[in-house]
Amino acid sequence: MGFIPDYNPAEAYSRSEVVDELHGFYHHNNADQFSTDKESDYVTAIVILGAAPLMLAVAILLIYFVLLFYRCCKSSCAAKEAFCGPICSRFLLGFLFLAALVFGMGLWGARYDFNMAVDKLAYSMTNDDGSGLVDIFANIEQHGGSLTSQASAYYRESTQIDCPALSSDVNALKAKTLQLKNEADKLPSYYEKASSSLSGLNEKAEKMSKRHVNIGIGVVFALVLFYTFMGVSAAGQGSSRLLDCTSCWGSTVLPLMAVVLGLELGLSIIVADYCAHDTVSCSAAIDYCPAALDGQQVSGPDASSLKVIHRSFEGAGGNTEELVGYYVRCSGTHPLDSVLANVDQYRKQLFENAEALQSSGQCTAASAASLNLIKSDTAALGTTYNTVHALKNSLSCEGINQRYRSVTYDAMCTHSVDGLYKLWVVQAFVCSFLVLSHFFSVFVRPKFLEQKYADEYDDPTAFGNLDPTLANANARV
């Protein structure tokens, strides 16, 4: 066992039926493996899938306008055979409009799983207990910075030590302080910018995701509500003019809803692909696999997470990617194990050297303070509350890997994918009833026109204030 305790995480992620279903959707050129490369075939495949609802909506509207022209753009429009009687037509039309509204209300319930995913992700990133990923890496930065500062201070103090009769021992102590400083200076390259990057990701996910989904659902529901109000009013009054206005509004709403539906569909497939990545055998040839995972196999959200980590820290320099990537599986040797082991070893040797020089009594009085500082501090570093062990505890894999699994396995690959799936399925039903009411109105419109003309014929004032004798002329014929 190394300096940092080993940890064996629970078994790998098991894909849900929803993930399998979404991952099985058609991908252009079979590009179904999650990728962070903006110019890859995968991005093209997602764009095509996201644009499919809009293309379908445009095709439906073209068919609708052709049918409308055929049935209702001729002088014999009112004479066209209607779908059923006036009462039946108005009832069925009103039912379709109300059904669209009912499913529209279901959008508010469908967002529950997605919002739960955002809450779970936010809690796993940072919380009041200080056990979130951002909190843990902030502690690592704090303790690592403290250890680096202490090692630099020991080196400065060692340069003040003067023991004329023990120059070789003094030089050995200076060499140990320099070794300790050099090892401690390696630490920042492993964790720099980790907590700030994770914090930025958390803020975007918590604020933007919920906000965008809630705004999107609110806009869609408002559009459907207004469409339903106009449609039910037209059906209730049997007004062909109001029905025409409703159809015009529906022709505008349908493409807008198709765009939102496409975004939800595309995002749900991205998350599903993220969670269903094929198995990858890590090696030096796989640029996103950390060295600690060489020779091991990763799959699902673990493989996708390594791609995201590689993309996030690519070109940043240092070893942050190596450290963060290690916690995905916690397999192999911890990247900082040898560094902290050396730091602890040099700390012990430095304590022994300082103690020997102090007890020799052959050092100058000015050197005594420096020796006492080095001796007392390096002794304190060996206790359970010291910087080395605090850093060791923060770096242990158990806490970090559990939070990582909560973010990916639970928040993203369970609640998030379920929530997005429900959102676009419910919205697809809303669009279906919108289309049905749209097309049904074409067949109902002749009945409304027939009733309108009949009412105008029976009304003596329908064509202005006619002379009563002329208005009732037909009664004497």
Q: What is the pLDDT of residues 105-150, one digit of tens each?
A: 888 877 788 888 888 888 888 777 777 888 888 888 888 888 888 8
Burial of residue 39 (number of CB atoms within 10 Å: 0-12, 13-18, 19+): exposed
**DSSP letters spanning 115-139:** HHHHHHHHHHH--TTS-SHHHHHHH
pLDDT at residue 209, rounded to an integer: 65
Q: Does the pLDDT at position 460 exceed 70?
A: no
Q: How far apart are CA 100 and CA 110, in angstroms?
A: 15
pLDDT at residue 70, rounded to an integer: 76
Q: How far apart are CA 321 and CA 390, in angstroms?
A: 22
Which among 60, 70, 71, 63 has a CA at the least distance from the CA of 444? 71
Q: Tell me the average pLDDT of the chain.
A: 81
Residue 150's CB is within 10 A of a number of other CB atoms, namely 21
Q: How far apart are CA 423 and CA 221, in angstroms?
A: 12
Q: How far, CA to CA in Å, does 22 sit from each of 19, 45, 276?
A: 5, 13, 10
Q: How far apart are CA 463 and CA 468, in angstroms?
A: 13
Which among 14, 12, 8, 42 has a CA at the least distance from the CA of 28? 42
- Give the rounded distance of the alpha carbon of 24 from its chain centre: 20
- Give the rounded distance of the alpha carbon of 421 from its chain centre: 14
- Sequence-distant (6+) residues with CB within 8 A of 334 are 2, 4, 292, 326, 395, 397
454-472 mean pLDDT: 48
Q: Which two tokens stand for residue 31?
A: 């590009």
Q: What is the pLDDT of residues 209-261, one digit of tens each?
A: 677 777 878 888 888 889 889 888 888 887 778 888 888 888 999 999 999 89
Q: Does the pLDDT at position 9 exceed 90?
A: no
pLDDT at residue 452, rounded to an integer: 53
Helix/strand/coil for 297: strand
Site of tokens 């070789």? 168
Q: How far apart are CA 378 and CA 173, in angstroms?
A: 13
pLDDT at residue 457, rounded to an integer: 46
**DSSP letters spanning 180-237:** HHHHHHTTHHHHTTHHHHHHHHHHIIIIIIHHHHHHHHHHHHHHHHHHHHHHHHHHHH
Q: Which two tokens stand for residue 331?
A: 């397999």
Q: Does the pLDDT at position 275 exceed 90?
A: yes
Q: Does the pLDDT at position 476 exceed 50?
A: no
Site of tokens 């003094």? 170
Q: How far apart are CA 402 and CA 387, in angstroms?
A: 24
Q: What is the pLDDT of residues 363-417, one digit of tens each?
A: 888 888 888 888 888 877 776 557 787 888 888 888 888 888 888 998 889 888 9
pLDDT at residue 78, rounded to an integer: 46
